[in-house]
């Protein structure tokens, strides 16, 4: 089939924001003028715009699009992120760090945690944290690119500026932007597929394939096609958030903070030009006024924006691809921002769509495969988030007592109990969170294995001590040679310098 005869050539993106422009940039850069790409958005409709913290796969996405990292970071006022500092999650007053790096050196038969557990049993009481480069660099507030990509990192960025950056790229590659509010979605009376979007001014945007990037409203997937929603609030009970930006009052650190309180948690995310702040809470245990008062009470620096109040429900659409429409971003579901996965799920949906783009009619096999893969991603992320609430020693509030006592999915129960009994974690089906992520969070939340792999007993005491000294010493020396994070950012991608120029 020639390109001119391609029956699915007209691709329409409903909605802008991070989801819409990530999709537009990827499609335009990949397919160029092989598609007729149109994005519809309205300046009157605001975007959520609080997605400031990301995870490492975004660097891969940017590389696939040929984006220069320093240019991107200047444009989005970004800083580097080495992980998340969790505070007060297991018990008030204590914390732990979930880093993006590996900890120690694994043996092919068992992860490093098994050797650490054996060493601890022998009285070698080194912190598990001492063996992770990214974690110790974050604690020291230091960062640099290292040879061989030995430093794993993500970004803390302004998602609104990221969308603007991607828009320029997409339009330069041929994407047509149409300004207007979507009034109705017209369906084909025979097939039931989406035929066109009708805007408030009467303009009709017809297409062959549609991407729903309309956020929580899900105007296409839910409003027009009624795919249904799977509610996960019985596992992820937080349903409200308040966000605002403040002027930075201290140098930006290379990590995000997630601070638990008696009915949820709060975030703090340092960018180059300001700090992102938010409170996430369960409205059944904390009312909106009390949440706002608590939020205002911990802000550092003068507020730059009015508070953005959000209501959400944790869960997922029952289908992510239905007929000729694909959900991208919040239209497909939401699982709160605790592990910074929202932008990642946009990325996964867009890249998966591009890999499975049909040449002829939409194949039910493609649709089924896409839906299975997307749902697998979401279920695995869901379980990882539930872990933070379930594995806790907090009993100081009704919220935490409910979290500790709630039944959890069998898939998570298996993972937690396997680790508790054997120290083992298995990564399945290209699961987003690697073994070390699960180990760091489970140890941090108070799950300590009762047993471990016998391979660790093979080492004599002096060999074990030598292993720990070698790995820990290498980490400490490397961190000591890194520059302060804020200095490195200013030199590498300082937005203030770019703006002044």
Among residues 81, 136, 390, 415, the one annotated as catalytic is 81
| CA–CA gap between residue 298 and residue 87 (Å, rounded) | 14
439: number of Cβ within 10 Å: 23
| CA–CA gap between residue 452 and residue 454 (Å, rounded) | 6
- What burial class does residue 144 get, using C-beta atoms within 10 Å of its C-beta: 0-12 exposed, 13-18 middle, 19+ buried? middle
Q: Render the burial of 366-381: b for 16+ CB within 10 Å, e for the rest.
A: bbeebbebbbebbbbb
Tell me how far the alpha carbon of residue 302 is from its chain's centroid.
Answer: 27
Please enumerate in sequence order all residues whose Cβ is within 8 A of that of 390, keeping only pairs 6 or more positions apart, or say none: 403, 404, 406, 408, 412, 416
Q: Which of 252, 323, 344 is nearest to 19 (CA)?
A: 344
Contact 229, 210 (CB under 8 A): no
In 251-363, where does DSSP find H-type helix?
A: 288-297, 342-355
Question: Strand, coil or helix: what is 256?
Answer: strand
- What burial class does residue 320 get, using C-beta atoms within 10 Å of its C-beta: 0-12 exposed, 13-18 middle, 19+ buried? buried
| CA–CA gap between residue 312 and residue 342 (Å, rounded) | 13
Q: Helices 57-64 and 342-355: crossing angle, nearest 10°?
A: 40
Distance between first and last Cα of the chain = 50
195-202: long-range pairs with CB below 8 Å, 24+:
197/12, 197/14, 197/40, 199/40
| Residue 81 annotated in active site | yes
Please enumerate in sequence order all residues whose Cβ is within 8 A of that of 360, keeping only pairs 6 or more positions apart, or say none: 1, 7, 8
The torsion region of residue 124 among left (phi > 0), alpha (psi -120 to 50) and beta comes to: beta
Supply the DSSP symbol for 221.
I
E-strand spans in 181-332? 182-187, 194-199, 204-206, 209-212, 229-231, 240-246, 256-261, 264-270, 275-281, 308-311, 315-317, 321-322, 325-327
Which whole-number Å values give the CA distances from 361 to 6, 62, 327, in the listed order?
9, 30, 19
Which residues belong to the active site? 81
């Amino acid at each position: 089939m020639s390109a001119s005869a391609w029956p699915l050539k007209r691709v329409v993106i409903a909605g802008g924001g991070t989801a819409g422009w990530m999709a537009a940039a990827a499609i335009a850069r990949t397919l160029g003028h092989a598609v007729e790409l149109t994005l519809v958005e309205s300046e009157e409709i605001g975007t959520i715009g609080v997605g400031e913290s990301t995870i490492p796969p975004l660097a891969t996405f940017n590389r696939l699009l040929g984006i220069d990292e320093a240019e991107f970071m200047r444009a989005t006022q970004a800083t580097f992120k080495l992980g998340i500092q969790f505070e007060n999650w297991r018990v008030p007053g204590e914390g732990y760090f979930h880093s993006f790096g590996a900890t120690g050196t694994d043996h092919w038969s068992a992860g490093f945690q098994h050797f650490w557990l054996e060493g601890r049993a022998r009285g070698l009481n080194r912190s598990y944290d001492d063996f992770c480069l990214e974690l110790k660099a974050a604690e020291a507030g230091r960062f640099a690119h290292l040879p061989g990509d030995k430093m794993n990192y993500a970004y803390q960025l302004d998602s609104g500026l990221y969308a603007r950056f991607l828009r320029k790229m997409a339009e330069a590659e041929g994407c047509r932007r149409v300004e207007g509010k979507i009034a109705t979605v017209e369906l084909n009376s025979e097939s039931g597929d989406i035929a066109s979007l009708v805007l408030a001014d009467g303009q009709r945007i017809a297409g062959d394939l549609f991407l729903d990037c309309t956020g929580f409203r899900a105007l296409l997937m839910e409003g027009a096609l009624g795919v249904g929603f799977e509610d996960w609030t019985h596992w992820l009970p937080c349903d409200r958030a308040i966000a605002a930006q403040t002027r930075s009052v201290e140098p930006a650190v290379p990590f995000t903070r997630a601070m638990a309180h008696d009915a949820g948690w709060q975030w703090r995310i340092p960018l180059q030009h300001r700090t992102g702040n938010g409170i996430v809470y369960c409205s059944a245990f904390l009312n909106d006024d009390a949440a706002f008062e608590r939020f205002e009470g911990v802000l550092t620096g003068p507020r730059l924006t009015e508070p953005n109040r959000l209501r959400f429900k944790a869960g997922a659409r029952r289908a992510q691809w239905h007929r000729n429409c694909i959900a991208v971003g919040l239209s497909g579901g939401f699982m709160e921002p605790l592990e910074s996965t929202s932008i990642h799920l946009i990325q996964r949906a867009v890249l998966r769509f591009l890999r499975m783009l049909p040449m002829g009619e939409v194949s039910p096999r493609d649709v089924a495969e896409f839906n299975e893969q997307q749902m697998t991603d979401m279920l695995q992320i869901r379980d990882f988030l539930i872990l933070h609430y379930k594995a806790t020693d907090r009993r100081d509030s009704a919220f935490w007592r409910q979290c500790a006592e709630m039944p959890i999915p069998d898939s998570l129960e298996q993972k937690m109990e396997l680790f508790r009994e054997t120290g083992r974690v298995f990564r399945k089906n290209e699961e987003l969170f690697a073994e070390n992520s699960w180990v760091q969070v489970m140890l941090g939340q108070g799950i300590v294995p009762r047993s471990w792999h016998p391979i660790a007993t093979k080492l004599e005491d002096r060999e074990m001590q030598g292993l720990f000294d070698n790995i820990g010493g290498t980490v400490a020396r490397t961190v000591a040679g890194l520059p302060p994070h804020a200095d490195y950012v200013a030199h590498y991608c300082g937005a203030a310098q770019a703006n002044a120029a």
